[in-house]
Structures are given as C-alpha cells and as structure tokens.
C-alpha cells in the first residue's frame, strides 16, 4: 500500500480538520507540523493526538524527509510564498481558500503548480457536501433542463466571537467578503452552472453594526454575473449578519427548479403539485467540523494514486478566484468588469 507523508502548515481551527482527515486515510500520515512557534505547533500536535516533528519555519519543514504532501491551512496572505515553494519542491498540495488575495499571487500559484506537475486540491470543501452531490446528479440527469438563472447566497456573521475575526477584518489578510468567506457561494454557482463568466457587476456596503466595525472592507456584497452564453446569476455574501448560518441555492431551469434540497420538475416527476424534498446533510453551518474535509483529503489521495487531476484543483479554483477578484474590482470602481482579467 502506497504511503505518503504529510506536512501541515498552520495551527488554527481548520488545520485540526486537515490533520484529522489525513490521519484517517490509510495512505497518509502526518509527519510534520509548522506553526508561528514550535510551542504552538507542539500544542496543536498534542491536541490532535499526532506524534510528528514540529517547526516554526516553513522552509525547514519543507526539507523534512518523507514529506510528499503539503497541506496549507494558514491565512491567505502567506499562501503564495508557501504554495509556490511547495510546488517547486515537488510536493502535492491541499490548499485552503482563499488561494490568495491578489491576481498576481493566484497566478503565481497556478503557474508554479502547472510547471511542477504536482496534484492539488483547493478547500472549496462544500463540493463534497451531500447536497452538492445530489444537485450535481439532478443536473446531470437533466431533471430541470438547462439552467438559465442561478443564485447562491452566503450569510454567516463573522464577528468578534468567531476565531478568525482578528485577521479576517484586515484587508491585507481577509481581502474581501467574497475572498474570506463568500467564495464558497461563488464556487458553487460555477460548479452548478458551468460555462465561462464574461462580465460581473458588484454593489458593496457596510451595515455599520458595532460588532463588525473593525472591517477594513465592505462585509456585504451582491454580485451579478453574465455568462458568455447569455445566462445570468447572482451571489450575495454577507459576513456582518446577525442570524444563523444560511447557504442558499436556487437554480432555475427550462424544465424545473432546484431550491436547496427541494426539487420541482415537470419532466422527472409528472403530476408534481409541490416541492419534492430530499432529506440530506445540508451546508448549514460555518463550523469547520461540519465540513467534509476527510472526503476532500481522500479525493486528493485518489488523484495522486490514479494520476488524475481533481475537479477542484488549483487551475480550476483559479477561475473562481478570478471572478471574485473581478467582482471586488467592480464594487470598488462602480462599473462592470470584463473577464478574463487582463
């Protein structure tokens, strides 16, 4: 049985899920962990019950013998340096979203991975959520015909009570409402509708609530998308809301509609008089322990073993990020922005 050593960069909340995911896979073992200090790295290793080497320097961890996969769970402003170095060292990559916060950085990572020929997966982890699998299967079976309008909305209040708030509010690190969180919704719209996006227009605002006053960028945005084939879509991202987590999906097709886990289809369900509801696991929590990281890690390992590319590799995730960055540029400039970005 093939065995791969894994090095984890980051000691925050999400890194614990990366560690658990790779420890659960029979082909992988966490052999090294890097944090801002060796003390933090050791504390994380102890908390997760792993016996591994600990580092406070990413380059030093990268040189650790027996590492085949690097899992990057650090804030996005350091991803370029770490991901490019890992790719050039021939390591396969599991990379947290956002890939990075600038066009230059996401292109540098995309190109380094392509040049190195390593396998990669980006943590748009909801692609492995059961509801997403159901929706993709319904679309593949033509249950609602051709989708000509889609909307996916992300509502998740990220305030002082939330672990990443301290750095999420900073423009240099968090980036924007879409980059820090709402990119899950943008990626879902791409994943469900397919095709290329030709133009975006965004409105952005800040509610002014005291709990969210530290944000250095508008925490609420609404982006309208025009696809190259004329279809349209909308993504709302609000991380200053006071409410339970909501991830809303609405796909309107020529033969029916999918609304979250509800389906209405004239062709697949003749005589249907109301929504058909599929009981399933929903994307209804911002808690990282709720997300299917084990399925994501298993998928990356399968891609390595079979020599195939992931549907969610860095080249694909680049497209979602390019749309996000174009949308944020539109919001800042107050005018439509064309894709691809120059």
**CA triple 24-29-31, angle to 5 deg:** 140
- Please check whether residues 135 and 271 belong to one and the same domain: yes
The CATH number of whichever domain residue 259 belongs to comes to 3.30.360.10
- Please check whether residues 171 and 222 belong to one and the same domain: yes
How far apart (Å, rounded) are the C-alpha atoms in residues 97 and 74? 10
Is the model's pLDDT at 2 over the cut of 80?
Answer: no
What confidence score (pLDDT) does residue 205 get? 98
The CATH number of whichever domain residue 111 belongs to comes to 3.40.50.720
H/E stretch holding 116 reads helix 103-116
Kind of pairing between the strands at 67-72 and 92-95:
parallel
- pLDDT confidence band for 55 (50 / 70 / 90): very high
Phi–psi pair at 201, nearest 5 degrees: -140, 130
- Please check whether residues 261 and 299 belong to one and the same domain: no
Kind of pairing between the strands at 28-34 and 53-55:
parallel
Contact indicator for 85, 59 with CB cutoff of 8 Å:
yes
How far apart (Å, rounded) are the C-alpha atoms in residues 108 and 135? 33
Is the model's pLDDT at 290 over the cut of 90?
Answer: yes
Percent of the chain with pLDDT over 90: 97
Distances from the Cα of 310 to the Cα of 109, 235, 251, angstroms: 16, 24, 24
What confidence score (pLDDT) does residue 302 get? 98
Distances from the Cα of 49 to the Cα of 23, 24, 70, 106, angstroms: 10, 12, 19, 33
For 191, the domain range is 126-287+320-338
Number of domain units in the chain = 2
- pLDDT confidence band for 44 (50 / 70 / 90): very high
Could you tell me which of 322, 334, 337 has the C-alpha nearest to residue 226?
Answer: 337
- Please check whether residues 137 and 252 belong to one and the same domain: yes
pLDDT per position as a tens digit, 68-86:
999 999 999 999 999 999 9
How far apart (Å, rounded) are the C-alpha atoms in residues 63 and 134? 42
- Please check whether residues 95 and 145 belong to one and the same domain: no
Phi–psi pair at 219, nearest 5 degrees: -80, -5
- pLDDT confidence band for 342 (50 / 70 / 90): confident
What confidence score (pLDDT) does residue 16 get? 97
Distances from the Cα of 141 to the Cα of 137, 144, 146, 266, angstroms: 6, 9, 11, 13
How far apart (Å, rounded) are the C-alpha atoms in residues 252 and 81? 41
- Please check whether residues 152 and 270 belong to one and the same domain: yes
Percent of the chain with pLDDT over 70: 100
Contact indicator for 207, 243 with CB cutoff of 8 Å:
no
pLDDT per position as a tens digit, 215-270:
999 999 999 999 999 999 999 999 999 999 999 999 999 999 999 999 999 999 99
Q: Which two structure tokens, joined as six digits, stand for 38?
A: 């060796």
Q: Which two structure tokens, joined as six digits, stand for 2?
A: 């093939």
How many H-runs (helices) and E-runs (strands) does the chain carry?
Answer: 11, 15
Mean pLDDT over 292-298 rounds to 98
Place of tokens 């079976």: 141
What confidence score (pLDDT) does residue 26 get? 98
- Please check whether residues 152 and 269 belong to one and the same domain: yes
What confidence score (pLDDT) does residue 126 get? 97
What confidence score (pLDDT) does residue 1 get? 73
The pTM (predicted TM-score) of the whole model is: 0.97
**CA triple 222-144-232, angle to 5 deg:** 30
Question: For residues 321 and 289, which has the higher predicted lDDT (pLDDT)?
Answer: 321
β partners of residue 204: 221
- Please check whether residues 183 and 89 belong to one and the same domain: no
Q: Which two structure tokens, joined as six digits, stand for 185?
A: 């919704």
- Please check whether residues 214 and 164 belong to one and the same domain: yes
- Please check whether residues 275 and 298 belong to one and the same domain: no
Distances from the Cα of 211 to the Cα of 160, 220, 247, angstroms: 7, 14, 21
- Please check whether residues 232 and 300 belong to one and the same domain: no
pLDDT per position as a tens digit, 169-202:
999 999 999 999 999 999 999 999 999 999 999 9
Beta-carbon count within 10 A of 283 CB:
24
> Mean pLDDT for the chain?
97
Q: Which two structure tokens, joined as six digits, stand for 230?
A: 């004329």
- Please check whether residues 167 and 276 belong to one and the same domain: yes
């Amino acid at each position: 049985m093939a065995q791969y050593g894994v090095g984890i960069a980051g000691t925050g909340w999400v890194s614990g899920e990366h560690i658990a995911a790779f420890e659960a896979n029979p082909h992988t073992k966490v052999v090294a962990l890097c944090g801002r200090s060796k003390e933090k790295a050791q504390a994380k290793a102890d908390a997760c019950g792993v016996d591994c080497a600990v580092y406070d320097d990413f380059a030093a961890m990268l040189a650790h013998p027996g590492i085949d996969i690097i899992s990057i769970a650090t804030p996005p402003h350091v991803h370029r340096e770490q991901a490019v170095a890992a790719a050039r060292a021939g390591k396969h990559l599991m990379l947290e979203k956002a890939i990075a916060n600038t066009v230059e950085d996401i292109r540098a990572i995309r190109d380094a991975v392509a040049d190195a020929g390593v396998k990669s997966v980006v943590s748009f982890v909801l692609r492995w959520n059961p509801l997403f699998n159901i929706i993709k299967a319904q679309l593949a079976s033509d249950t609602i015909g051709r989708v000509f309008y889609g909307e996916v909305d992300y509502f998740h209040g990220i305030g002082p009570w939330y672990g990443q708030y301290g750095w999420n509010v900073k423009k240099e690190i968090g980036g924007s409402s879409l980059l820090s969180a709402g990119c899950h919704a943008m990626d879902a719209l791409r994943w469900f509708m397919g095709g290329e996006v030709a133009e975006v227009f965004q409105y952005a605002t800040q509610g002014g609530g005291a709990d969210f006053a530290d944000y250095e960028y508008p925490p609420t945005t609404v982006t309208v998308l025009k696809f190259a084939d004329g279809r349209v879509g909308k993504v709302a991202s609000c991380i200053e809301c006071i409410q339970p987590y909501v991830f809303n999906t609405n796909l309107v097709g020529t033969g029916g509609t999918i609304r979250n886990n509800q389906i209405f289809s004239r062709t697949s369900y003749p005589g249907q008089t109301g929504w058909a509801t599929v009981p399933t696991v929903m994307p209804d929590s911002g808690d990282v322990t709720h997300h299917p990281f084990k399925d994501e890690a298993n998928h990356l390992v399968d891609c390595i073993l079979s020599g195939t590319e992931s549907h969610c590799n860095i080249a694909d995730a680049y497209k979602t990020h390019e749309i996000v960055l174009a949308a944020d540029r539109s919001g800042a400039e107050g005018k439509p922005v064309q894709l691809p970005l120059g």
